[in-house]
Structure 1
Amino acid sequence: MTKKKIVGHIAGADIRMLKIFRAVVSCGGFSAAESELNISRAAISLAISDLEQRLSLKLCNRGRSGFSLTDEGEQVYLATLQLLSSHQEFQRQINSIHSELKGDLDIGITDCLVTLPGMFITDSLKQLKARAPEVNINIEMIPAIDVIKATLDGRIQTGVAPVVGHNPNLRYIHLYDEQSHLYCSREHPLFHYTPDELSEELIAQCDVVFPSYQQSAEVKSHFQPFQKGAKASDREGVAFLILTGCYIGYLPTHFAQKWVDRGMMKPLQPERFNFVTPYAAITRKDLAPNLILANFLDVLQIQLQAA
C-alpha cells in the first residue's frame, strides 16, 4: 500500500492551523487546549478537520477513548515542530535585520526648509537614527531641479523639493504647503508707508528680485507686474538682496519671520501679494527595495499622520 504524502504548499492559514495542532498535542487534547489557545473547542475541532483535509491525512483519534495521534499524526507533529521553529527563526532574523540596519541614507534637500514649523524631515531623521543608530545620514543641499535629477539617476535615494510638475517616474509624498509673501527691508522706501498709502501700482514700480530657479507657471504669474530688478539662484540670495534696501522680493513666511520679528523686514499687502508652494518627499518608483529608505519613509508617514 502506497503511503500518502503531504501535498500542496504552506500558506498563511496553514501556519495558524499547525499552531493549533501543536497546542492540541502538547496539551493532550481539545478540551485542554481551549485555555491555551483562547478559542472554543468547536473552533479547535474545525481547525484540525481543515488541516486533515488540507494534508489529506488523518492526524488524530478523538472520541470516548480520548485523544491520540495516528502514525501519520506523529510524523506531521514532528514536521510541525520543525516548521514552526524555522518560521520563528525567520521572524527573529528579519526583526534583527530591522534592528541592525547599517548603510547610508542619501537625501537631497532644497534650501531654507529648516525653519518650517512642521519639522517632518528633522523629526523623521531623528526617529530613523533612534531605530538604526549605525545608519549614516548624508544630506546634500542642492537646487530643486538637481534634487529631481539626482533622485532619478540614483545619486540620492530620496529628496525634498517643490512640486512644479509630476514626473511619471517618481513617487510623491506631500509634506508642506509653503506660504510666500512679498517683502521689503526697513532700508527700502516702502517700509515706512502705511497700508493706506501703499498701492499695487506703487509696489509694481519697485525693483524686484526675480528667482532664477525653477518655478511653476502659477508662481511665475506673480512676477508679471514687475519689469526690472535683480536675479537670485535661491531664497537665501533673495533675502540678501531684499536686505540691501534696493529691492523687494518674495520669501517664504517661515524663512522671513526672523527678520520681521527684528523689525528688519515687513510684508507688502500680504492679502494681495502671496502664493503657496507645495513640497514633497520624492523617490524613484523603480528603486530596488531598500530597508533604510523604507524605514525613513515609514517614520515620515507616521510624522505626517500625527500632524
Structure 2
Amino acid sequence: MTKTNTMGHIAGADIRMLRIFKTIVTCGGFSAAESELNISRAAISMAMSDLEQRLSLKLCNRGRSGFSLTDEGEQVYQAILQLLSSHQEFQLRINSIHSELKGDLDIGITDCLVTMPQMQITDSIKTLKGKAPEVNVNIEMVPAMDVIKGILDGRLHTGVAPVTSKNPNLKYIHLYNEQSNLYCSSDHPLFSYTDEELEPELLFKCDAVFPSYQQSSDIRSHFNQFKKTAQASDREGIAFLILTGSYIGYLPTHFARKWADEGIMKAISPAQYNFLTPYAAITRKDLAPNLILSCFLEGLQDLIEPA
C-alpha cells in the first residue's frame, strides 16, 4: 500500500515538532538538544516518534552508534529550514504592517571580533535596543562560510564576515580593514631577536601554524614561504598554538594586543609581515522588507559614515 502524507494541514503542534527536530539536528543528537530545548529526553523522543508517524517517514537513526539523519530526514530538515524562514518572514511582514519593531534579529559573526577598536556592531545593536527594547537579538558565532550560508538560506538576517569574494546575491557594507601581524610567544627562540637581527632564512625554518578557514588568494600568498606544521580552524586556535612557544603565526593585532601588552607575545618584523582583511556587514539582496534589520543597518551606516 502506498504511504499517504498526512501533513497536508500544518497545525501549531506540528510546528512545535518541526522546531524540535530542527534543534536536534543543529545540536547533533537528542542528548545535546535537551538543554537547548529545556525538555526531557523522553519528551524529545516522543515528539520525534509523533513526527515520524505524522510524516510516515523515518527521519533519523539513534542508538549506540550515535545520531544520524536518513536521506528522507535530510530532505525534511532542508524543507523545515525553508518553512521556518517563510514563517519568520510572515511574522516580520505583519510587524511591518503594524510599524512596530518587534521580533527577532539573527546575526552571524565570525570569531574574535569583539576586541576590534571600531565597535560598530556592538554600538549598532545598542542603538537598535534603544529604539526597540522588545527586539530579541540572537548572535551565532560561526565560521565565515556558515555566515554566508545562513544568510543565503534565510536562517540569518545579517552577518559579519571577511570578504574573500563577493556573491552577486548579497549586499555588503564595508566595516573596516583588520590588520594581522606575524607573532611568536615569549617562549619561542625568535622572541629574543630584534627585527634587524632576524634573517628571513631563520624565520622560514620555524614551525608555523596556518589557518584552515577560507582566505583570499592575496592573503594566502603571505603564507607561501613559511613551514606549515600545524593548522587551526579559527584565530583562537592559532593563538593557542602560538602560545605554546613552538609555532609562529598570523593574528589580528587587536586580538593579540592583550598578550603583546603583557609581554607574552610579540609581533615579528611587523613592517614587513602583515596583511589587511576587509570585513563587511552582509545581507541578502532579495530579503523581504524588515523594519528591524533596516533599523539595525541604518544605525550601522550612521556609525560608519562619520569615520
Q: Same fold (TM over 0.5)?
A: yes
Question: 1:162-241 alignment to 2 at 5 Å?
Answer: 162-241=162-241
CA distance in 2 between partners of 1:291 and 1:123 (Å): 18
**Following the alignment from structure 2 to structure 1, what is the Cα–Cα distance between the partners of residues 261 and 126?**
29
Write out the 4+ residue segments of structure 1 that deviate beyond 6 Å after TM superposition. Answer: none
3-state SS, counterpart of residue 287 of structure 2: coil
Q: Are the aligned partners of 2:96 and 2:290 in contact in 1 as well (CA < 8 Å)?
A: no
Change (3 A) 1:298 1:202: same
Any conservation in 1 of the 2:177–2:276 contact (CA below 8 Å)?
yes
Q: Deviations over 1:229-276 (max 9, x none)?
A: 201000000000000000000000000001000000000111111000
What CA deviation, in whole Å up to 9, does each residue of 1:138-177 have, x standing for no partner? 0000001110110111010000000000100000000010
Deviations for 1:83-130, whole angstroms, at most 9, x for unmatched residues? Answer: xxxxxxxxxxx99955x4100000000001111111000000000000
Contact 2:111 2:235 in 1 (8 A): yes
Q: 1:227 Cα deviation (Å)? A: 2.6
TM-score, normalised to structure 2's length? 0.68
Unpaired runs of at least 5, structure 2: 1-94
Q: How does 1:127-166 map to 2 (within 5 A)?
A: 127-166=127-166
Percent identity between matched residues is: 69
Q: Distance in 1 between matches of 2:239 and 2:258?
A: 11
Q: Which residue of 1 aligns with 2:49?
A: none
RMSD across aligned C-alpha pairs, in angstroms?
Answer: 1.5
Normalization by structure 1: what TM-score?
0.68
Instruction: Tell me if 1:113 matches 2:113.
Output: yes
| Partners of 2:96 and 2:291 within 8 A in 1 | no
Report the secondary structure of 1:228's partner residue: strand
Kindly report which structure 2 residues correspond to 1:50-65, keeping only aligned pairs within 5 A, or say none.
Answer: none
> How many matched pairs?
213
Letter in 2 for 1:224: N
Match of residue 70 from structure 1:
none
Please report how far the alpha carbon of residue 226 of structure 1 lies from its aligned counterpart in structure 2 after TM superposition: 1.2
1:299 to 1:222, Cα distance in 2 relative to 1, 3 A? same
Q: Which residue of 2 aligns with 1:298?
A: 298
- Shift in Å at residue 201 of structure 1? 1.4
